[in-house]
Amino acid sequence: MVDMARVWPILCQFGIGGLLCAVGVWAGLSSGYLDMKLKDDRRLVAVIVGGFVGLLVLSCAFTFWLPFVGGGDAS
């Protein structure tokens, strides 16, 4: 079982960071700076979302799965 000292940083980083990122993307879309009709802007938003999800998966893997691989205690 993973203690909450490892979980809280992920929740703070990706919860609050995701909220701030979503506000920034929303501001870009609502102001007209990003236009989803343009291929480059769609790609940029996809890279932002994909990067966020990719880093979340990587962080969760190193926190919840990889420390327990190999049978040894990595604590």
**Domains of the chain, residue spans:** 38-63
Look at the alpha carbons of 33, 49, 19, 17 in this order and tell me if their dihedral is positive or negative.
negative
Which of 14-18, 33-37, 67-71 has the least mean pLDDT? 67-71
In this predicted structure, the answer to whether residue 56 has a pLDDT above a threshold of 80 is: yes
Q: Cβ distance 17 to 74 under 8 Å? A: no
Give CA–CA dist 10/38, Å, rounded.
Answer: 33
DSSP letter at 67 equals G
13 contacts: CB under 8 Å, gap ≥ 6: 59
Tell me, what's the pLDDT at 68? 81
Predicted TM-score of the model (pTM): 0.81
